[in-house]
């Protein structure tokens, strides 16, 4: 079966750095997405990786290793507004998104 694993919850301090990991097993791979979702709101796109390596976008970076079936989202200089769930999703061979359950990130002052 297809499976996306990510931690359920993480806690970090304002101003610090946090890394959210995602491992996946899917039938085919056409890219990995990270979405941010605030409570009660729709997901918003953060990043897309299809080749191995690091993609940097401001305070957020995303890394992919296809051979290991592994990605992480790195958030720097954490702000209180970064408190949200972070969803990892993989596009399979049918170009459908397989979603993880999300990691709830709690930022403390």
Chain-centroid distance, C-alpha 91: 13
Closest CB to another protein among residues 2, 16: 2
DSSP line for the chain = --EEE--SEEEEETTS-EEEEEEEE-SS-S-EEEEEE-TTS--EEEEEE-SSEEEEETTEEEEEETTTTEEEEEE-S--GGG-EEEEEEEE-TTSPEEEP--EEEEEE-
Closest CB to another protein among residues 74, 97: 97
CB of 56 to another protein, least distance (A): 17
Closest CB to another protein among residues 4, 20: 4
CB of 12 to another protein, least distance (A): 19
CB of 15 to another protein, least distance (A): 27
Residues engaged in binding another protein (CB under 8 A)? 4, 8, 30-31, 33, 40-45, 48, 50, 85, 87, 91, 95-97, 99-102, 104
Q: How far apart are CA 109 and CA 100, in angstroms?
A: 28
Closest CB to another protein among residues 75, 87: 87
CB of 42 to another protein, least distance (A): 4
């Amino acid at each position: 079966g297809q499976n996306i694993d990510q931690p359920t919850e993480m806690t970090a301090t304002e101003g610090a750095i946090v890394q959210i990991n995602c491992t996946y097993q899917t039938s085919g791979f056409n890219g990995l997405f990270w979405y941010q979702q605030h409570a009660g709101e729709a997901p918003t796109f953060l990043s897309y990786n299809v080749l191995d390596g690091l993609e940097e976008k401001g305070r957020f970076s995303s890394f992919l290793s296809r051979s290991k079936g592994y990605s992480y989202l790195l958030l720097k200089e954490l702000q209180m507004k970064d408190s949200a769930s972070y969803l990892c999703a993989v596009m399979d061979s049918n170009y459908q998104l397989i979603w993880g359950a999300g990691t709830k990130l709690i930022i403390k002052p």
